[in-house]
Amino acid sequence: MRITVLTVVDCPNARPALERVTAALDGRDAEVELVEVADEAEAARRGMYGSPTILIDGTDPFAPPGAVPSLSCRLYRDANGAVSGAPSGAALRQALAGATRSGQDCAGSDCCAPQTLDVVARAGRGRRAPDERGLRAVHRQVLRTFATTGTAPEPEALEPVASAAGRSAGEVLAELADEDFLTLDSTGRIRAAYPFSAVPTRHRVRIAGGAAVWSMCAIDALGIPPMLEADAVISSTDPVTEEPVTVTATAGVLHWEPAGTVVFVGRRPGGGPAATACCDALNFFTGDETARTWMRAHPEVPGRVVSQTQAEEIARQTFGPLLAS
């Protein structure tokens, strides 16, 4: 469990918040850190709704509906109506217990809440194809073609790369599909190669110096700039309100609009490729409230809301290594 206390410089309630967190943990193993937030943009990226904000595994369990990121002083009201600069010990213990139960309930299942990376990274095995049997060479060529043209390469265009490994393009593509590095249609053509989609989706990514591409999900869209080491503009919509969401990546720094945008990360139980198990559920939401509205309407998709910082890190870890030497 990771607990982050977000504060502004010289916040008088930072130390009491840390002390209450430590007391509520009562010896349980957890990584606790204090982070001083410098400006409104960072507050939005980290999911800070006033100082201090306490995140448990990246989620603020005390965020009120409709809250917006802020550097202002934050006050907490306990069950008796008393107001304090930090959550009460009882409230913290309840929040910590809920986080622990969430991890236990999902252990050994397809639920993604405790291990968010599993949603997009093949149960922890990552999306970088193995070097053997021409898999990596063909996979890299597919990704590069998407990035430069915005479309999937035809199988015959991959024959020279596959033949270098003594195989046909069809054989390599079929194995990549079996291992969920990409998906094929009924004719053997590429329908998706995470993070790219050959068909329109909710998420459009315009790559600086490259093409405009569709991505499979919100996390995939966020993974394109670090994978290509390129600037990009991501355009999407909140599936509840249909309001636009824009994420602009410039020199590795992401700017989110609206500032309170979050990402829901989930996966349907039962396994199967990411394209059908979770891609349509990994979406941008203009705020925590609309994300939770979607969650209530889709109880069949277990998962959680993650902050901008968490979403960026998941995307970077998942897709950053794909084209690296």
The residue type found at 17 is A
Query: How much is the average pLDDT of 47-68?
Result: 82
**Omega before residue 12 within 30° of 0, cis:** no
- The two tokens of residue 317 are 């870890």
Instruction: Give the DSSP H/E element, type plus range, for residue 59.
Output: none
The residue type found at 111 is C
Residue 104: burial class (beta carbons within 10 Å; 0-12, 13-18, 19+): exposed
pLDDT recorded at residue 125: 60
Instruction: Inform me whether the pLDDT recorded for 109 exceeds 50.
Output: no
**Contact 261/245 with Cβ under 8 angstroms?**
yes
Q: Which residues contact 267 (CB under 8 A, 6 or more apart)?
A: 110, 111, 112, 118, 119, 274, 277, 278, 281, 301, 302, 303
Instruction: Inform me whether the pLDDT recorded for 115 exceeds 50.
Output: no
> Which runs of consecutive H residues, i.e. helices, occur in 88-168?
89-106, 135-149, 159-163
Query: How much is the average pLDDT of 58-66?
Result: 73
pTM: 0.67
Domains observed in the chain? 2-106 (3.40.30), 116-125+202-319 (3.30.450.410), 132-193 (1.10.10)
Instruction: Inform me whether the pLDDT recorded for 32 exceeds 70.
Output: yes
pLDDT recorded at residue 325: 72
pLDDT recorded at residue 210: 86
Highest mean pLDDT among 54-68, 115-129, 279-293: 279-293
pLDDT recorded at residue 227: 95
> Which residue's entry shows tokens 């994978």?
227
Q: What pairing do the DSSP bridges indicate for beta strands 203-207 and 196-197? A: unpaired
